[in-house]
């Protein structure tokens, strides 16, 4: 089961990377009417949540820039940003490296219980490393869909 989880985690992440590779900084910053966030926010949010859910709850150090929580945590939005943002290339590096670190540090630990279980906003109790990682795949899939929609709006806007 561990191999399947890690294989799917990598597949989903590669899909996210492919969806945004080559986009312009303007495209990833476009916020269509009726939306609160843009592609840059969604990418940073995916990285932030994956980092927190994969490493924080098992006591491993987080390896993301210190401002990611301010920029990309749930409830944040680009309209509140007033600091330098990571470029798309910087986000792509973090997106690519994160699953490798998860594989290296957590590969044989998916059945391990965390010291402090966590209940998601939708009411799901997560208590093992594998449960946290599986939830992040669902989470990334939701944001992948949002990125796809935002990308469509941004390309229509530029035409």
Residues 6+ apart with CB under 8 A from 100: none
In this prediction, residue 1 carries a pLDDT of: 61
Q: Where are the domains of the chain?
A: 2-158
In this prediction, residue 3 carries a pLDDT of: 85
Q: What is the mean pLDDT of each run of 10 residues along the chain (159 residues)?
A: 88 98 96 96 98 96 97 97 97 98 96 96 96 97 98 82
DSSP assigned state of 64: S
- Nearest partner of 1 among 96, 97, 134, 100, judged by Cα: 134
- Which CATH architecture group holds 2-158? Up-down Bundle (1.20)
In this prediction, residue 50 carries a pLDDT of: 98
pTM of structure: 0.96
In this prediction, residue 43 carries a pLDDT of: 98
């Amino acid at each position: 089961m561990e191999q399947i989880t890690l294989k799917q985690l990598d597949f989903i992440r590669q899909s996210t990377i492919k969806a945004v590779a080559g986009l312009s900084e303007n495209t990833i910053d476009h916020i269509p009417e009726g939306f609160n966030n843009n592609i840059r926010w969604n990418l940073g949010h995916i990285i932030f949540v994956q980092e927190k859910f994969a490493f924080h709850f098992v006591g491993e150090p987080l390896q993301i820039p210190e401002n990611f929580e301010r920029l990309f945590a749930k409830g944040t939005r680009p309209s509140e940003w007033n600091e330098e943002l990571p470029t798309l290339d910087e986000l792509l590096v973090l997106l690519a490296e994160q699953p490798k670190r998860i594989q290296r540090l957590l590969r044989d630990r998916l059945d391990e219980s965390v010291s402090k279980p966590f209940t998601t906003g939708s009411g799901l109790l997560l208590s093992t490393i594998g449960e946290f990682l599986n939830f992040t795949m669902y989470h990334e899939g939701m944001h992948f869909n949002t990125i796809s929609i935002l990308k469509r709006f941004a390309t229509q806007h530029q035409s």
